[in-house]
Structures are given as C-alpha cells and as structure tokens.
Chain A
Amino acid sequence: MELLDKLTILADAAKYDAACTSSGVDRGARPGGLGSAMAAGCCHSFSADGRCISLLKVLMTNRCIYDCQYCVNRRSNDLPRTAFTPWELAELTMGFYRRNYIEGLFLSSAVWGSPDRTTEAMIQALRLLRQEYSFHGYIHAKAIPGADPALTRQLGLLADRLSVNIELPSEDSLARLCPDKKKRAILAPMAQIRDGIQVSRGELVKYKHAPRFAPAGQSTQMIIGATPESDKHILTLTQALYDKYKLKRVFYSAYVPVSDSALLPARRDFKPPLLREHRLYQADWLLRFYHFRAEELLDEANPNFNPLVDPKCSWALGHMEFFPVEVNRADYEALLRVPGIGVVSARRILTARRCGPLTFEGLKKLGVVLKRAQYFLTCSGKMLEGLRVSPDGVLRHLVAQERPMLAQSVPEQLSLFEQTG
C-alpha cells in the first residue's frame, strides 16, 4: 500500500482522540539531533473543525482484536486495515517536523494481536525515531491497557507524555460497550505511570542524567454523550483523576456516531454534544486554574451545566452573597471568581493597583472586558455608573451575551488563548 493511503487510513482512525497539546516539557536541542520542545505548547495549524493540530496524530495500526462499540476501529467494522512500519513512521515524522508542520508525534494504536505485541511495535518505532534519527521533538504515546508493565516503562522512557484512555465515564458503561476492557486494566497502568513519573522526578533532582520517564506527565480522555452519565459524574471523576492520578490533562470528546449498535444513541439525527463538551472544558479549566472544586459547580439538584451561561457565571449567579468584589482590595483568588476576569486580567489588576486605585475606566485600559464583570465588581466602593442590577436582569444580560455564540450550531472551541475567564 502506498504511504499516502496508509497515512489517510491511520490518521482517519486516530482523529477522534481529543488530546492535542504538545505542552509540558522544555527541552533545548542536542548536538547532532533535530528538534526541541517548548513548555507552552505550539499549535501548527487548525483543521476545518477548529481543532488545533500540533502533533502528527496517527495509529500504529488500526487492526484490532477488540470490539468496542463506540469505536470506528472495532473488529466488526468493515474497514481497510493497515499498519505503519517503524521506518515509515520515522521518515514521516522527520519529514513533517523539518518542514515545521508539526511539533512532534502522537502515536496511538489499536490492539494488534495482543497488548504486548502492540506496545512492542510502538517501542520499536519510537526507538528508531529517538535513537537512529536523533529526534528530540515531542512524543505523546498511548499506553495500551493490559500490556506488560516493563513494556509500558520502556514506552515512557521514549515518550514525553503517556496517556491511558479511560474511554467512558463509568464502569457500567465500559462493561456494556466494551466488555473486553476492564476498569482495573485501565487504572493499573495509570497508577504505574503516576508512580514512574514521581520516581523519575525525584531522581532527576539528584542526578541530572537520570532517565526521564514521561517528563510531560500523563493525560486521559473520555467520550461524552454516548452514555447516560451526568456532568456532575464526569466532573467529579475528572477531579478524582487529577487528585489521585496526578494527571496533567483530562480531555473530553463529544461522541460522533460511528456505529448502529443498539447500545448507542441512534445514528440518525444525532448531533455530537459539542456545547456540552465545551461546558465541561470550561469547568475543567476552573478546576485546574481557578481553584474551584467540582462540588461547588454542580450538585444533586443541578447535576448538569446550564447550556445558556458558562459554569463560572452559573456559580456566580448562585452565590450573589460573594459579590460585589472590590477591585482595589480583593485578593487574587477572589478576583478569579468574577465572571469575565481570567488569570491574565487578575494579574494585571494586582500589578496596576500598586500604582494607585483603579477605576472602571482604568480597568478598560488594562484590557479587562467589563461586559460580564461589571455586574460583580466595585471600584473603590462604587458600582459602574448607570448600571442597574436585579438578579434576574443580570441573568438575562449574561444569557444575551452568550447567545450570539450559541446561535451557531457549534460553539467556539476552548483553547489556551481564549479562556473566557
């Protein structure tokens, strides 16, 4: 088969995985090699669906022994099957990287023969790339549940980031849709990777040349909307993954119907729940950067996010007693709770108010967008002049502001650069 056709098949098979980032390691070049890695991550392009392209995202092979119902690559699906040779994959990565098309490689795989055999094939490809081709760019590799821990370890010594997909948000769903996969089999490598990373960090402090095991940490992803779990369930799970498994990122992937299985939502008229995915990413952001906890955002009475306003606004409207926040006195944490104020704005406020008290005019000059924030702030004790607030009115305004975005069939995708705050 021609390389172009293989690439088409194996990129198509990998495209539903949501993880895109290339962030988390900073590494200068080494003599004789090609490449470096930037801590902040780097988007090289954006596809027509608005998602970032940072890595060459492909499967080693789409040949699979399993039959997970939600997956295009399931055994029972009638598809052309193929596999890269390690050499093809290395050439492709080098060729793309040199031209600055990509920041590195995201190598995943279907389960070919057995988890061990699959992992071995991946190791072989990555070893070729790292050792023969002296490639120092970013590598994200998928650990295959069920593989020998010794193999997973080798994989982690070659890659910058490892991930194990949790696939579905609950054990029940997992049991129904992919009977071959067990929650335990997924969590075992996750724990192994967590511990491996911790040990490696400790050693690196002591010896500069200690082997680096997954220095950019681990991530996971789950499919949203194929199964009945609530947002509360998903966010609580996310939080537990951050707390217990020290994950760097949890990715969500709105289910795109790829099968007529009776266990899944009917394909006809099914729209991937993109808005829901968006809200979950916003909430995930609040967990990671805004010191929120899952239980503050959702509870038994409201187990799902309000589609009309973002989770931070929702929280604020339910906690009006926390507001207004005084711009000239509030601490960083309190500023971060204000709808419309993000990490950058909060930092600027802290800096600028050292030069004297801030006014609403001054906030605008700092680049703070007041559209939403105005309802929740005072400057030296005063609300913005001419502003009328009744709780109902605020909600109506906030909803009106979000509407243009929601009017599109698809909401804006969340990214590092346009956090709404």
Chain B
Amino acid sequence: MGWSQVSYHYDGSFAGFLCCVFEAYLHKEAPACFLGPEDGRLSLWPERQISTDEAHAKRVYRSLDRSLGAQGRRLVVYGFLTCLPEREMALWAFLRLGYERGPGVVRDLTDDRVSTLNKAVQHLTGEAHLLKGFVRFSEQEGLLIGEIEPKNRVLPLLRPHFCTRYSGESFVLYDRTHGEALFYRPHRWAIVPLAEFRLNGPAQEEQEYRRLWRRFYDTISIAERYNPKCRMTHMPKRYWGTMTEFQREQEGLPP
C-alpha cells in the first residue's frame, strides 16, 4: 500500500512495541522485522531505532480498547507474552486488520491473522493454568520460593492467582526461561528481570515436608491402574524438572 518497509529496533518491552506501532502509523512504515535489544539478526531492510516514549505507548494502548474492543486488547496484551516465533509481526498483522475492521475482528476465527494469535494465546493461558497447579514452593526462613521453566511468559498471568492465594505471605516466583521474577509481600508486588537466582539447601522442616509429599504422591497411585502415558498427557514431562515429587535425590539422606 505504498508503506515503506523497515526494521524496527526497540527495547523489547510492551511499551516499546506499542511505540513501534505508533511510529509505523505516523510515518506510514510497514515493519518487516522487529529486533529486541539482544537480537543480533542482520536485517535486509533499513533499520530504525525506536525509543520508548510513555505518552506514545499510552495513546496506542488506549486505542486498543476503542478500536479492537476488550477482547481484541486482551489478544494483543497476552499475545505479547507468548512464545510465538516473530510474535511482534503476528501482532502487527493482527493490529492492521483490527484497526481496519473494528472489534468484530476477534470473531473472524478463520482468518489466519486472528487464528495464529488466538492459538498462541491459548497456549499461553493453558500453560498458565497448568502452572497454577504445578508450581512448587519451598520455605526458607518464612519466605516461599518457587521456580518455573515455562515456554511463555506466564508470570503476569500467575500473579493475581498467587497474590490472592498467599495474600498474607511473602513469596518469590522465578521464571528461569525468561530470567524474571515475581516478588510479593503483603499487598505489594513487582515483576523484575533477574539474571540469576540461587537457593540455599532446604532446612530440616522443609525436607520433612518434601518427604511427606513424595510419600503421599507415591501412595495415592493405584498399582492396578498404572498408566504412565495418561499421566504424561495431563502433565507433560517438561514440567517435572521443578516439581518436588520428581526430585528424589534427597530421599537417601538420613531424616
């Protein structure tokens, strides 16, 4: 449509992405590629550095509700958290369509631009739902600490759930994959980047609870119904690495 093709370099944040959208419309540019701060890809198109401007981001954010409706906005906000390859391009394609067609766009489930994003968001919300159950916390000096290795950036989705569940406690939930952590102490929370995260060994009481849990886990299964395949469909192996019931190494230690 006569929009010139460019690559955008931005800071990788959601606000930064919204600013790219702002610039694109302002200069009638069609982004062909989005590069985050650590993205070393060479691009074939002229590159532009987009700096993040709160006011611009806010304007675009407000336009989401107006032009795409609450559901459309949700798709965009959640879409940004997914592990969809080239997710910014998918979001851009969806936004173009949405600005043109209005809130009804979310119903057009057979359009590739809509269904791609929808599927990615379902993957995200599905993973977040599973993790509400699969997250394991350990207690260290009154603080609850948990680690996860999700494919999608689920922390923002897990936050309301765990902040309600543990409203009177303090906890940290670390996302190894994306190097960020959710911190909570009564009635305040923050999600912050965190490159490294180390834990002390479990104290005696903590070890005791782990043993009790593993024992319960093993006991509750009925041998005559053994069905590892069914377990795997419900609880894919990639989650097992951070789950207490599969960490056997301490079992040999004297109580």
Contacts and interface: CB of A to CB of B under 8 A. Distances in A.
Interface of A: 3-4, 7-8, 11-12, 14-16, 28-29, 31-36, 38, 40, 42-54, 56-57, 92, 95-96, 98-101, 103, 254, 256-257, 271-272, 274, 348, 351-352, 354-355, 358, 361-362, 365-367, 408, 410, 412-413, 415, 417-418
B200 interface: no
B89 interface: no
Contacts of A415: 234
B175 to A, nearest CB: 15
A164 B212 CA distance: 28
B221 A48 contact: yes
A12 B168 contact: no
B104 interface: yes
A16 B243 contact: no
Main secondary structure of the interface of A (DSSP, over half): loop
B110 A11 contact: no
Interface stretch (B38-46, B130-138, B177-185): B130-138
Nearest to B211: A4
A49 B227 contact: yes
Interface residues of B, number: 54
Interface string B108-147: 1110100100010000000001101111111100001010
B70 interface: no
Contacts of A56: 216
B54 interface: no
A403 B238 CA distance: 28
A99 B164 contact: no
B167 A29 contact: yes
A7 B209 CA distance: 12
B233 A7 contact: no
Nearest to A35: B165
Contacts of B166: 34, 98
A44 B112 CA distance: 34
Given A32-B168, A99-B244, A412-B230, A49 B222 contact: yes
19 contacts: A4-B212, A7-B215, A29-B165, A34-B165, A34-B168, A34-B169, A40-B129, A45-B134, A47-B217, A50-B231, A53-B217, A98-B169, A100-B136, A100-B146, A100-B165, A351-B109, A361-B110, A362-B110, A366-B115
Contacts of B107: 351-352, 354-355
B234 A52 contact: yes
Contacts of B244: 99, 101
A348 B119 CA distance: 13
A233 B115 CA distance: 44
